[in-house]
Amino acid sequence: MKIKDLPKIDRPREKFLEKGSDALTNSELLAILLGSGIKGTNVKVLSQKIIKKFGDNLVNVSVEDLMKISGIGEAKALQIASTMALAKRIFDKQNSLDNLILSAQDAIDLVSDLRDKKQEHLICLYLNARNALIKKEIISVGILDKSIFHPREVFAPGLEMRAAGVILVHNHPSGDPNPSQQDKEVAKRTVEAGKLMGINVIDFLIIAKNGSHSLLGDIKNIQLIDTGYVAEGFQASLFDLLTDADNSPSGVKNLDKNKKSVSTLRFMDFCAGIGGGRLGLENLGLECVGFSEIDKHSERTYREFFGDREKNYGDLMKINPGDLPNFEVMIAGFPCQTFSVMGQRKGMKDDRGQVIYGLIKIMKGKDLPYFILENVKGLVNHNNGNSFRVILDELDKAGYKVYPKVLSSLNHGVPQMRERIYFVGVRKDLVKKGREFRWPDPVKTPKVAEYLIDTSKLEFNERKRSYETFIKFIDNKYNKGLFKVDDLLKQEYLILDTRQSDLRLYNDKVPTLRTGRHGILYVKNGKFRSLSGFEALLLQGFPKRLAEKTKNKINDIYLLSQAGNAMTVSTIESIGKNLLNYIQS
């Protein structure tokens, strides 16, 4: 019987679509993979034969074994074997993270006991193509401060293991992690031999009581914490990098400097909104490796700004930290409405108030070095200050020294009176003795005229009432002898906040943007007009080149709310700059 002769509900593909994978047997799942049977045998029967022959060992099946089954040629055998290998690889990656070496720190963690050795040891970590550890082996043990070895002692075992790459690690009993001239010569000789043997020397590490050192990090001019290794893609060998360095104007002199550039620190953007926090850190040269946002409208704006390069991991309360890429800095504007004076102020009892615990779970799961969090100023006094104290206590218990402070965007690059509470966190083992994180100093506020420039939206729109009615409304409700509407209309860039019980006037600055109908008006060409979404983005520090991407694409109803929820780009940039200075010092 052919598959097409079976009832639809019994056909593997239709059954999968109707009921999902759990409703199918192993042979039916394999049948979908194969796609078609062979002459005289339909695909279901063929799949049953394969499952019966190999059973659970199918995951390790070879092409040769599969081709022993009548009718299975090389193409189908490759199809099955490669799928099993991919599934096994993904499973191993998810369930055996400890054996993956994806950074210099991962390698150092495997040999941390070397710090206290009184003699020099040289250890080789043999890796497969996915950077999974095959074997850790001691190559040589020296006397006091000398360790002599021949490259064949490294590569002969590697050839037997079919290793794709090696990482060499040795210790300095003196406590100084900086490479000696002998270290550089040994490293260069070894990477040249690796090139000839077809085994990639990924890094040459030195470990000592006073720190650690990466030759790869030196060549790439990045500090140890940023030195990552490529598991899926192209990993340049030290041979190629050394050759490039030799041919550069500065030559190998680069290897003599223990530079601490943090330009490639990685971060993840949680409660991302439209990416104000991300942009502030990217302006400093940090690299975003992913984000988390559940609002589809915000994600659409985020994608307009940053494209589709990074994955959205969705609801952070459902994230398994092990599924996230490696990163060193968390940026998160966790939900503020539950603490805001504009909301119901349910605080920690609200689902949104629980998000801080989701962030802490990720911090602990990734052993995160640093973070920057943001919330409304109202959090500080919410519930008589109890919510604020609970958050600080939880972060302290998670292992962080936390620096909280209320800052106004008005003092950090934009003419907006936006006060927010910021938390900068440093993992306690990274806290520098005798040195505290320093908050950025205020800067001169720009002129508001630079931001209220949207010539595409000059129409009046205040709850869709007529302009004449609105003038009367202003006169009757707000004019208490302090000013006349006619006088107001002669002003330029005079900001009015109609949300307040009394009309407030702001010269050369605007009140904080809020979600929903913002209620902020200003004078333009002798008339009151409301802010556009474009202008709201500018007032949050977004550059014009990005704000212009939203024109004719994102409705102002969404954009004004998104801008009200966003972090001020310039404020995050100022905080981030001082955090980097702290890390580098």
Q: Is 178 helix (H, G, I), strand (E, B) or coil?
A: coil
For residue 230, the number of C-alpha atoms closer than 13 Å in the C-beta half-sphere is: 9
DSSP 55-71: GGGGGG--HHHHTTSTT
What is the torsion angle, in degrees rounded to the nearest 10, for the CA atoms of residue 245, residue 251, residue 256 and residue 261? -60
Integer Cα distance of 316 and 324 in angstroms: 11
Integer Cα distance of 555 and 23 in angstroms: 44
Give yes or no for a contact between 412 and 442, defined as CB atoms under 8 angstroms apart. Answer: yes
DSSP 497-510: ETTSSS-EEEES-E
Task: Look up 336 and say whether it is catalytic.
Answer: yes
The pair of structure tokens assigned to 112 is 């941390």
Distance of CA 181 to the CA centre of its chain: 38
**From its phi and psi, is residue 40 left (phi > 0), alpha (psi between -120 and 50) or beta?**
left
Alpha-carbon separation of residue 388 from 33, 334, 357, 405, 426 (angstroms):
54, 13, 13, 12, 18
The helix (H) or strand (E) run that includes residue 123 is strand 121-127
Q: Is 139 helix (H, G, I), strand (E, B) or coil?
A: strand
Integer Cα distance of 243 and 276 in angstroms: 40
Alpha-carbon separation of residue 476 from 48, 132, 426, 482, 485 (angstroms):
84, 74, 54, 12, 10
Residues involved in catalysis:
336
